[in-house]
Amino acid sequence: MTTADDQDPTAITGEVLGVRIANLESVVQRANLPGNLEGLLAHRILADRHSSVVWNVNPMTPEWLAENRHRFVYAAGVAILGFGLTGFVSMESQTGRQYLSEGLPNLMRKNPFQADGVTFVNDPGQIIGLALAVNAVLEDVPKARPWLAEVLHDPRLRPATPLLGIFHHYARHIIGTPIGNSPDARNISDPVELAGWLWLAGLPGCQILKDPDELRRLRSRLISELVLNQAESLSAGRAALLLNAVVRIVTASVDDLVLSTSHVGVLLSRFGDAMRQWRHDGDNLIHPIRWLITEEREIQNILWLMLRPVFDDLVDEETLRKVGHSTYRADFGIPSLGLLIEVKYARRAADFKAFEKEILEDYVAYLIDNKPYTKLAVFIYDESASVQEHGTTRNALLKLPHVTDVVIVCRPSHVPAAPRTSRRRNPTAPATDESSTA
């Protein structure tokens, strides 16, 4: 019989950390509503680094803009437009830009340092959204950015908390004005503040913590705080900072951590960032390089390159035991984690319903008496950009008790759509009769 004293403490840490991540995700999810300022701030912090959250914060729709037009003379409404124009470019961008150009001058005439403290400079979502807004309408309202820079360097700007000061630093970074002095990380104790400085330090051109040893110490302390502290009372923005920190720690310092299935999910969610370097040159080059993505096998190749440097025992096309007359192969296996990874390539919205059925069938065959495998993660590449199907499929599959992650990503915009073909299961998929087994 194994007692608590016999368990590997690092394994316990990994399990507890997974619970904390789930709690943080639930906090973010509560603010994941169209035009919700906290939700938009969380989306900005996380960007595409944590795709298990299916975002629903987009304010740039005709319905939302029409219903909320009265808000665009206030700082919060202007900030929402700033987030929308920056993160959700659409056919409504011109309308949003017009509303923003009308609302900003009114806001610029007001005193940002009210005696009662109720002002945009004391609200993280508003100050970040305003920084994005002045950049979005720089040509239409050229005086807006110098105005905000002056506000952010005004001696009356005295953040009530260190975390608010971090957001002031970020707002300065957005509009390209001097950020200010970085803190002594040794004096930081609050885990959200630690996460905030780690987030800010990881932004391009924002090297506020230059000592690698200091960064490592900060990451180590933050992991300890995440394991020991709860997250239920956090706002969505604060929870997003902690989630972002977890992703950065896993991907930047993975050798210093004990790997678990939660790390696999985090790495898979980084697919979008990894695809930034995927080559598809324009016609302006003499010899353009164009890496096409047309089928599931190519997605498997990319995932191998992402996962293999981290997991030494990663196996592709893992052959499992026979079930009846059929032999099954999982796309990837990580024996040390007891984890199988199934990869799918969606060409159209209808594929998601089919995937649910296929994965349920494979799930039963994969995890019955197939030691050491006891868990399954799913990765779906959506060629069709059918984002309306993502939440339904993800929620359905996550109800299966041993499915650890369902990561769904869309085709990057710089990669052209694959030619339309009739859908079929990938030729490398599990064999379903004995005559086709390996």
pLDDT one-digit tens code per residue, 157-168: 999 888 999 999
When pLDDT is averaged across residues 187-212 and rounded to a whole number, the result is 75
Least confident stretch, 199-208, 210-219, 229-238, 383-392: 210-219
Q: What percent of the chain has pLDDT over 90?
A: 42
pLDDT at residue 352 is higher than 90: yes
Predicted confidence band of residue 6 (pLDDT cuts 50, 70, 90): very low
Q: Any idea which of 28-32, 260-264, 370-374 has the lowest mean pLDDT?
A: 260-264
**Tokens matching residue 396:** 């359905």
Instruction: Return d(Cα 109, Cα 117) in angstroms, integer.
Output: 17
Lowest mean pLDDT among 25-39, 79-93, 105-119, 325-339: 325-339
Q: What is the pLDDT of residues 259-296, one digit of tens each?
A: 667 778 888 888 888 888 786 677 777 787 878 788 89
Q: What is the pTM of this model?
A: 0.58
| pLDDT higher than threshold 50 for residue 7 | no
Residue 405, phi then psi, degrees to nearest 5: -150, 145
342, β-bridge pairs: 378
Name beta bridge partners: 290. 280
Tokens of 125: 């979502």
Residue 190 pLDDT greater than 90, yes or no = no
pLDDT at position 362 = 82
Q: How confident is the model at residue 379 (pLDDT cuts 50, 70, 90)?
A: very high
The pLDDT tens digits for 402-418 are 898 999 998 887 777 77
Element (H, E) at 282: none
What's the Cα-to-Cα distance from 192 to each of 127, 218, 237, 263, 305, rounded to whole Å? Answer: 18, 12, 10, 21, 32
Inform me whether the pLDDT recorded for 98 exceeds 70. Answer: yes
3-state secondary structure of 346: strand
CA 364 to chain centre: 30
Q: Report whether the peptide linkage leading into residue 372 is cis, meaning its omega lies within 30 degrees of zero.
A: yes
